[in-house]
Amino acid sequence: MIKKLAVVTGGAGFIGSHMVDLLLKKGYRVNVIDNLLGGNSTNIQHLKDNPDFSFEKRDIRSYEANDPFFKGAKYVFHFAGIGDIVPSIEKPLEYMSINVQGTVHMLECAKAAGVKKFVYAASSSCYGKAEVPTKENHPISTLYPYALSKYLGEQAAFHWKDVYKLPVNSVRIFNAYGTRSRTTGAYGAVFGVFLKQKIEKAPFTVVGDGTQSRDFLYVTDVAKAFLAAAETDKVGEVYNLGAGNPQTVNKLVDLLGGEVKYLPKRPGEPDCTYANISKITSELNWKPEVTFEEGVGKMLEVIDYWKEAPLWDKEAIKKATKVWFEVLS
């Protein structure tokens, strides 16, 4: 029997690589697209001899409809794109090109291949400083180009559903964390910053007073939610994805253990992100499985993964976030 084929864009990245592992475990063949600009080739190194795994190092904008890499695909999981707030303020054209036009190229490929489901990795940043817990019908408030680009990509996906009848679902990720999270690039994700600081026995740089909370969801739970969004008969749905159990930055610091230095609170950042996950749990029969304590423990077990990550201190962070304060204040 021929195994079902799935295409994962950004499949060498943080979430994408875990998506690939889950699909292979579930008996799928998987075609992966990634430009490897994030320096993340090690995330898929263990798959190079797997006969059900194929890889193309390409920019998603280079694909046109009827590309053979999509032929016979049942599902497309679209994670490819660029993130972070400050770089998006500095380079909005790049964000619009990759996150919007790149998505359109993937939609065209999926449409031509006749896929059964296109699952878009959206961002909860589209809600801005939202009321919590945040439902899917919350008003949209895109406060910076990254948020806008991800939301416009989502809108393009639903446009392809309406006009071309492409089966689409979108999953708005709140705060994913876990092994293989980014080690390079701009100042951003708190786990990469803190784990490198722990390796170097440097103080943790906590923004504000540390009481701000984030709806952290472990990456393997994220992948399972995306598979559920593909395998469901439902089409045209948006699902908020978090643990539904926000954790404070101070709690994270306590679990990691170490000295703390506090930095000025940043404008435009919510005090709390908190996904209302009642829709995804009821409609897709999905629920979080990995506790926050378990997830942090899993990361500490492989902490050397972040040994080459940049070490951020107070002055470096101040310089890196200067534009943030200028634009969002």
Which residues have a Cβ under 8 Å from the Cβ of 319 and sit 6 or more positions away?
Answer: none
Separation of CA 153 from chain center = 14
Of 277, 285, 272, 276, nearest to 228 (Cα)?
285
Rounded Cα distance between 112 and 106, Å, is: 10
| Beta-ladder partners of 237 | none
Tally of CA atoms within 13 A in the half-sphere of 306 that contains its CB: 27
Q: Please say if 146 is a catalytic residue.
A: yes
Cα-only R_g, the chain: 19
Mark residue 220 as left, alpha or beta (left: phi above 0; alpha: psi -120 to 50; beta: remaining).
alpha
Residue of 146, 151, 239, 305 with catalytic role: 146
Catalytic residues: 146
